[in-house]
Amino acid sequence: MAREGDILGYARVSTAEQDLSSQEDRLTREGAIRVFGDVISGRTFERPGLTALLDYARPGDTLAVIRLDRLGRSLRELLETVDALKAREINLISLEERIDTTSAAGELVFHVFGAIAHFERRLISERTKDGLATARKHGRTPGRPPLREETVSALQDLVSAGKSVSQAARHLGIGRSTAYKAMGGSGRK
């Protein structure tokens, strides 16, 4: 049985005290054959319900939400989600904002979102390059300072004494990847 063209709903609330049912009911009334949901803060970008919806969706399907803020709290998150939908040929309907990318005008919205995302990525890249150039001009080396000799020595001693690199890093209050770099990529995991 072909699933092309299905409407899949996505509902999200921020706390367990809130209820998904009103969003689910409205999405079902709008034609969603299945509604995926998350009870999770918008600040958290990892949303298992949305991930499950995207795993289930096929090209030509439509993701329906009550409002765009259900897909992300920031413009960046929203644009990343819209980019992912577009790349997978999944349409988007937002009931409150009356956005429907299955229409020509709605498709234009997808293109505008894509252009804004591209513009934002370019701005970030340009700001980063400018910041690095300014730092170098003033004699500063961008990035984290190297570990002190004493810290590297203590790290090596802890690993030699039988601790894993991760345990030694935690004990010294440094990042695991930093510890592995200091160890030259060697050491037990």
Tokens of 59: 């090209």
CA 167 to CA 117: how far, in whole Å? Answer: 40
Residue tagged active-site, from 14, 21, 74, 186: 14
* CB environment 7-32: b (16+ within 10 A), e (fewer): bbbbbbbeeeeeebeebbebbeeeeb
Taking the CA atoms of residue 80, residue 81, residue 83 and residue 89 in that order, the dihedral angle to the nearest 10 degrees is 170
What are the CA-CA distances from residue 37 to residues 3, 88, 155 (Å)? 20, 20, 45
Structure tokens of 123?
A: 């701005």
The C-alpha atoms of residue 106 and residue 109 are separated, in whole angstroms, by 5
The 3-state DSSP composition of the chain as helix, strand, coil percent (nearest 5) reads: 50, 10, 40
177 is catalytic: no
- The residues assigned a catalytic role are 14
